[in-house]
Amino acid sequence: MKYARLTKEQLEELHEEFIRFLATQSITGEEWKQIKETKPQVAEEEIDIFSDLVWDGVLEKAEYLENLAPQQLFLFKIDASEMTLIALKIMDASKDITSEEGYRWLQQNYASEAVEFYTATKTFSEDKKQDIFSLIEKGAIITKGELFRFFEKIIEA
């Protein structure tokens, strides 16, 4: 398995896609029930293959990631061969931007000396999708990039 197995909830959400996946392997619903009962290891392998296919598609389409911590915000833009990072560091340890109140504080004070900005660019390794997945495993979520573009304009100004 290259990435991670989908959760039970994710598999339930992708039920129709999983049925189509099994059909591409000429596995009927009845055969799937039998495989689960008599060859659970084969069933697990099929779920792992499907999970990797789903992750592969999701990672291929990812354009922006965000990772929010109590005193830091990491914003990533995914390009063809590299990713760009905009990081914000909150200098006041009493502020927690993961809370509603702390996030409101950030919205009002991002231009103050209490917030430091950092930027960086990193070339992807030979496995771009694994690089992106690694960030997701560390807590990043895929977004539409509104925050990245907002802070990118501020930095460029």
- The whole-angstrom separation of Cα 114 and Cα 88 is 10
User: CA 2: distance to chain centroid?
Assistant: 15
pLDDT at 85: 97
User: CA 121: distance to chain centroid?
Assistant: 18
User: CA 13: distance to chain centroid?
Assistant: 17
Q: Give which of 41, 45, 27, 35 is closest to 19, Cα–Cα.
A: 27
User: How many residues are present in the chain?
Assistant: 157
Mean pLDDT taken over the chain: 94
pLDDT at 156: 82
What single letter denotes the amino acid at residue 129? K
Instruction: Give 67-124 pLDDT, tens digit per residue.
Output: 999 999 999 999 999 999 999 999 999 999 999 999 999 999 988 999 999 999 999 9
Task: Say whether 88 sits in a helix, a strand or coil.
Answer: strand
pTM: 0.86
Q: How many CA atoms lie within 13 A of 116 on its CB side?
A: 6
